[in-house]
A and B are shown apart, each in its own frame.
Chain A
Amino acid sequence: MTEKVNLKWNGQDIQAEKGSNLLKAALDNGIEVAHYCYHAGLSIAGVCRMCMVEQDGVPRSFPSCNATCSEGMVVRNDTPKIKAAVESTLQFHLLNHPLDCPVCDQAGECGLQDYYMTHGKYDSQMIDKKVHKEKVQDIGKNVMLDAERCILCSRCTRFTEEVTKTNELGILNRGDHAEITVNENLKNDYAQNLVDICPVGALTSKDFRFKQRVWFLKEVPTTCIGCETGCSVKVSQNKNGSYRVKPVYDHDVNGHWMCDDGRNIYKHVSSPTRLSNASENINNLFVPVDELGVQAKVRGLKAKYILSTGLTVQEYADFFSNIKGSKAEVALYTLPSQGPEFDGILRRGDKNANLRGAKAAFEQAGFDSTQVGLDKVLNSISSNDVVYVVIPEILYNEDHFNTLINKILKAAVRIALTPGETLSTLRAFNYLLPVPSFLEKNGEIINFQGSKRKLTAGLSYGETSKDVSYYGKWVNV
């Protein structure tokens, strides 16, 4: 156990770990402290000078981000002295800022705007020419840079130096000519985090740019299904769709970050080509069909299910309970590895979000979850069978999946259960039935560490009342 210490912040009693960061302690205790350069995932820069505090018995004020917690510490940032200092410092931050909020995507979640409400002077004293810098640069990896909006907090340069160690960004020149500079376009696989950590609108997402005002969006906390890491994320949505994925701090799994691949996991959910109705393949055109009609076609056929590794623990359990006592055969399609086993930061080559949950469920139900099991089922397929294939929510390697498809062609009826779009691959199926995407269901998946990760249902864009387990019930029709 780490030792806890008691301290007072503006008279409020707070507890923190001894020796831990003072600013973090305040923030963790729900106290709002203005800050730009501090980020718990990065080294301390101490340059924005917004989190200044006074401490009893210490003659000079100091930034709380560069202080550690000790027993009996009494600090304040609500004294007239500190308030005046923070007001002035915010004014200094805004001095050369273009104030182009109406066309800035950060508006609504901008540190400058936020703190101006509480610390603003509301009386401009600036009539001088501002220092102008380059406005819009595409710096690669879906990131746009507006150097003029930058307040030189150095979070982004610390990120590329300390986290990705790719050093694409730096600050050149001295004084008020100091400027974020791109040595080479972004090449790291975590570049979108730069957009998240930028406290102002200097780094914005090309993907998200001009799409939505943030105040129209609701956030759904969930888990990334992009690989077996299972990062905590939140997805921003409105009734028209999802717009972005951002990481949520999770000490045990992803810390502060997520990879760029994970940023795209939502795209199929509200895609225009997302399968929303039961459909029949008529000459490679998918035409809406009554589900009961499909059910009629499988009557009397032997059911063979090929599940994906991306279902929830509950879905697997419900599915196996629904087929219990039947002669159905069940196998598991495991996505092939992509890239290195682990990139040293977060991303893993194993793209199966809930392989562990799937294996446990198979084992408990007495089915073989291995490739051997899959081959056995595939080799047994005959014209007396109906094959249900659960389409992996994110299909990294279509060619690999097609080899599986090629082996089910003998079946009398081939049904795809898909949470995604109507891909050309799906032409091999007679029927497509929609199932909820990861964003439309509550449940749990088990990540590489064996820990349970939560999926949360947000808004629905597809058919969500019937998940994969529901089609388990068809086994006995």
Chain B
Amino acid sequence: MKETANNKDYALLSYHHIPGVHNLEIFERAGGYETMKACFEKDPEAIKEEVKLSGLRGRGGAGFATGVKWGFFTKDRKAQKYLLCNADESEPGTFKDRYLVEKNPHILIEGMIISAWALATQKGYIYIRGEFYQQAVILERAIKEAYAKGYLGKNILGKGFDFDLYVHRGAGAYICGEETGMISSLEGKKGQPKLKPPFPAIKGYRGLPTMVNNVESLAAIPWIMKFGAAAYKQWGTEKSPGTKLFSISGDVNKPGVIEVPLSTSLKDIIEIHCGGMRNGNKLKAVIPGGSSAPVFNAEDAYTVKMDYEDVAAKGSMLGSGAIIVLDETRNMGDVLKWTLEFYHHESCGQCTPCREGTGWLESVFKRRDKGLAHKADIDLLDRTANSMRGQTICALADAAAMPTQGMIKVFRQELEAYVVAPIKK
């Protein structure tokens, strides 16, 4: 995949054009790990403050300010605590973290070491989804290189600071991307989310304070620390500062990962960065933030700016920045059916409204397959989705309900026609 030319100037993919940058030596030659070394000379509190000032928002999907989250973490530097990198990336449509770490694992490791220094965590884990086997190998190799250079382990660079880092592979469960599900999974259990409170920053992995941050958030730290919060804020908006990785797939000519300033228009992303619509077809709809984000029709898609607030104002969410582009040949019934099959398959089964609700949502499409569905089933779908919202330990039920209700809102007629349509054999 080709980067757009200006990626070099951005925070995350600035090394990606360098051949072999996954090797520590090449990464360092390009300036890698310099920021880490500089940070060891800084007061950890100052690092936290800088991250807070940068306004960096968690890139996993929720968009919660990283600096604020760090602020909830214990300041007791001696206390046993963990840094957990969320590389479970499983929101359908998302592949930015994979792209980031497979080419440049060291930017994440550097970000984690700086974060560990700031937060005084003695151990860190990169929880990577089981499907990303080769990426786990790449990360383990890079970690080994970092250990060899003394950037990881005991008494790092003689600073009296210890930080061990390991890769932990998942085994195929979407819900492990939820931070408490991930903690359960790391504990050797089913990846079922935990009740909050307590929050992981207070009681997380093994009941100890645990900071969970997304790959992209952690990978942004070196740039922020190198150039400062003010420089980071040159991009984006007041509430959505910085750059963001977007994973674009579907009916565009050049699907892939791009880094652009937040608030870049979706129209530009499709037309400039992704080479426009495939086969010259007309845009019909866009899922702007992963499969749990409510769908945009073409009009909203062509006017929305990709920042947290504008996407929300138009009734969807920026989520993980996974953009699925759909052209006029696509049937929204199919898209919703595939989406609901996914959530049904991935519900962890703990909370009743989600366990039963995700199956029930999909059942409308099973009725269709038997020729038993009615137009009115779309109302049932809407009501069922509505009653799942805000009722469960984690957001999976909402993640199934939101795109359902969003799809009904925007494409009701098409869905009604879809569910009563005779099935092609």
Q: B-contacting residues of A (Cβ < 8 Å)? A: 44-49, 52, 60-61, 63, 66, 84-85, 88-89, 91-93, 95-96, 125, 127-129, 131, 151-152, 154, 171, 173-178
Contact = CB atoms under 8 A, between A and B. Distances in A.
Contact of A176 (B173, B355, B388, B392): B355
Nearest to B344: A175
Contacts of B345: 174-175
Given A85-B387, A176-B344, A178-B349, A127 B355 contact: no
Nearest to B194: A46
A61 B390 CA distance: 8
Nearest to B173: A174
Given A128-B367, A175-B344, A89 B349 contact: no
Contacts of B363: 128
Interface of B: 173, 195, 197, 344-353, 355-360, 363, 366-367, 372, 380, 387-388, 390-393
A47 B350 contact: yes
Contacts of B353: 49, 88-89, 92
B177 to A, nearest CB: 14
Contacts of A89: 352-353, 387, 391
Contacts of A152: 349-350, 352, 355
A225 B71 CA distance: 57
Contact of A174 (B346, B357, B380): B346
B349 A52 contact: no
Given A127-B367, A128-B366, A178 B352 contact: no
A96 B356 contact: yes
A177 B391 contact: no
10 closest A-B pairs by CB:
A88-B387, A178-B349, A92-B356, A175-B347, A176-B359, A128-B363, A46-B195, A95-B356, A47-B350, A175-B349
B399 to A, nearest CB: 14
Contact of A175 (B358, B380, B387, B390): B358
Contacts of B360: 92, 95, 128
Could you say which of B348, B353, B355, B372 has the most chain A C-beta atoms within 10 Å of its C-beta?
Answer: B355
Contacts of A95: 356, 359-360
A52 B391 contact: yes
Contacts of A92: 352-353, 355-357, 360, 387
Contacts of A91: 387
A174 B396 CA distance: 13
A46 B393 contact: yes
Contact of A177 (B349, B357, B372, B380): B349
A353 to B, nearest CB: 41
A155 to B, nearest CB: 13
Nearest to B387: A88
A352 to B, nearest CB: 42
Contacts of B392: 49
Contacts of A47: 350-352, 393
15 contacts: A47-B351, A47-B393, A88-B388, A89-B391, A92-B353, A95-B360, A125-B380, A128-B363, A129-B366, A174-B347, A175-B344, A175-B345, A175-B346, A175-B349, A175-B355
A334 B358 CA distance: 61
Given A125-B380, A152-B349, A173-B349, A178 B355 contact: yes
Given A44-B195, A127-B372, A128-B363, A176 B356 contact: yes
A319 B360 CA distance: 69
A173 B349 CA distance: 8
Nearest to A60: B390
Contacts of A131: 359
A89 B391 CA distance: 8
Contacts of A177: 349
Contact of B352 (A48, A127, A128): A48
Contacts of A176: 344, 347, 349, 355-356, 358-359
Could you say which of B353, B357, B367 has the most chain A C-beta atoms within 10 Å of its C-beta?
Answer: B353
A84 B393 contact: no
Contacts of B349: 152, 171, 173-178
Contacts of A151: 352
B351 A93 contact: no
Contacts of B197: 66
Contacts of B355: 92, 152, 175-176, 178
A52 B348 CA distance: 20
A129 B364 CA distance: 11
Contacts of A175: 344-349, 355, 358-359
A345 B388 CA distance: 40
B121 to A, nearest CB: 27
Nearest to A96: B356
Given A96-B356, A176-B358, 18 more contacts: A46-B351, A47-B393, A52-B391, A61-B390, A88-B387, A92-B352, A92-B356, A92-B387, A95-B360, A128-B360, A174-B346, A174-B347, A174-B348, A175-B347, A175-B359, A176-B349, A176-B359, A178-B355
A176 B343 CA distance: 11
A329 to B, nearest CB: 63
Contacts of B380: 125
A407 to B, nearest CB: 60
B202 to A, nearest CB: 14
Contacts of B351: 46-49
Contacts of A178: 349, 355
B195 A66 contact: yes
Nearest to B175: A174
Contacts of B357: 92
Contact of B391 (A45, A49, A96): A49
Given A92-B352, A174-B348, A176-B349, A85 B391 contact: yes
A46 B194 CA distance: 9
A63 B390 CA distance: 11
A87 to B, nearest CB: 8
Nearest to B363: A128
A95 B355 CA distance: 10
Contacts of B350: 45, 47, 152, 154
Contact of A93 (B346, B356, B388): B356
B387 A84 contact: yes
Contacts of A174: 173, 345-349
A306 to B, nearest CB: 56
Contacts of B344: 175-176
A60 B389 CA distance: 11
A44 B197 CA distance: 12
Nearest to A68: B197
Could you say which of A49, A60, A125, A129 has the most chain B C-beta atoms within 10 Å of its C-beta?
Answer: A49
A178 B347 CA distance: 10
Contacts of A45: 195, 350
Contacts of B387: 84-85, 88-89, 91-92
Could you say which of B345, B350, B388 has the most chain A C-beta atoms within 10 Å of its C-beta?
Answer: B350
B304 to A, nearest CB: 26
A131 B388 CA distance: 19
